[in-house]
Amino acid sequence: MEEQIYHQTKKPHVVIFPTPGMGHLIPLTELAKQLVHHHNFSITLILPTIGPPSMAMKSVLDRLPETITCILLSPVNLDDQPKDAKGETRISIAMVRSLPYLREELKRVISSKRVAAFVIDLFGTDAFDLAKEFGIRPYIFFPCNANVLQLLLNLSSLHQSYSGAFKDLPQPLCLPGCVPIPGTEILPPLQDKKDDAYMWILHHARRYSLAEGILVNTFVDLESSVLEVLQQGIPTIYPVGPITSSSSIGKGFDDASGCLQWLDNQPLESVLYVSFGSFGFLSYEQMIELAYGLEISGQRFLWVVKCPAAATIDASLSKQMRTDPFHFLPDGYLNRIHGSGFLVPSWAPQIQILNHGSTGGFLSHCGWNSTLESIVCGKPMITWPLYAEQRMNAVMLVEDIGVAVRPKPDENGLIGREEISRVVKILMGGGGEGKSLRDKTRQLKEGAASVVSEDGSSNISFLEVVDKWKQLSS
């Protein structure tokens, strides 16, 4: 009798297994916090590792509540992989090589917890075999948008029906409910069918049907057409977004760079925020063009400056110079922009900046986390995609949703200073296209707030999953 009462009072438990990378870890930890704070779950977060955790990862993990247990698996060795192997290949192999460690941790968790669900993200589908072995219901948390999910769910049939490279498609790819995507804008790892990265993504996409359901970090106001199509199929699709980082700074942050204090002294919506995310690096030549473009635009800007891509840095420079992002700026730049521009080396508190009343726009690499944060904060964008699904995001934001403008590169792929200045003036200008972008973004900001309210579509969708997990653990 005592044992029965004990089990009835234990919290339902979810195991989350993210793939390496901050873009995957942040939304999944936010999902975990929602389950803990609002639905009385306990969580085990099991993290595969390739090496020591980064400072950014430590910062996220250190702020997790006590009801989220975090386990770092033993690092896997990828020294046998080619140095030019794409990230999708390295991540997928790391996940597979982590499975023996994961099995041991799952044994421990199941021995003491009522596990309701096992949640992975888009590159973790090989762990489904362990979920089946232990009798746990597998789910996918998809950290990208529904347009990308539709592509992956159709990838197997596309692979069979089109023998050529997707970049050579004669017409834009038109999937049900999606904005048409030119072949050259499809995910870079899908451009070359001979690349291991293509085969890994195809492998994972074919296994999505093994999931009990897929939680997508998007919302109806943003992607109504494609969600309507997806929700008619299998597996069950749950739009639960926007799930964004509740805070990009930890306790005790004192605004060491002074960027927030500087924003306090700027006019309303007058500042363009410029950041390319944790792994977005420009070439040295492109960095110079961006610097001049921001300067000649005449607009106020706050730029998170990082060193250029390593391959474009002069190897003869000292280590101190190679690691100082300001060293690569044009001569006299800091003096010339004094007052109108503010530069922050390497990192800035993005949520606080986007939420600030003086911030009027965001020049972004279009990672989905940053995109959602910009929409939630009501800031229109300049899209500057660099890798992963970011080109597809840019097409959707510009051509379909209408909250962004995109600069045009020259024949060599370089975005020149005059073009940069042009799009900055459009976005930050008082009327015309800039006003239209701001109006649309404000509408989506209201929609984003509405869908997570008590009667909102994303909240209802999330509660449907939560109730199912609670029943499974009872």
Give catalytic residues, as residue numbers.
Answer: 24, 121
Alpha carbon distance 67, 36 (integer Å): 7
Alpha carbon distance 281, 373 (integer Å): 20
Tokens of 108: 């421990």
Alpha carbon distance 176, 156 (integer Å): 15
| DSSP string of 76-114, one letter each residue | PP-TTS-TT--HHHHHHHHHHHTHHHHHHHHHHHHHHSE
Sheet harboring 138-142: ordered strands across?
A: 68-72, 42-47, 12-17, 114-120, 138-142, 213-216, 236-239
Task: Name residues whose C-beta falls within 8 Å of residue 247's C-beta, 6 or more positions apart in sequence.
Answer: 63, 351, 352
Helix-helix angle 220-230:432-451, to 10 degrees: 60
State the DSSP code for 326: G
State the DSSP code for 304: E
CB 277 within 8 A of CB 271: no
Rounded to the nearest angstrom, the gap between the alpha carbon of residue 217 and the centroid of all alpha carbons in its chain is 9
CB 386 within 8 A of CB 276: yes
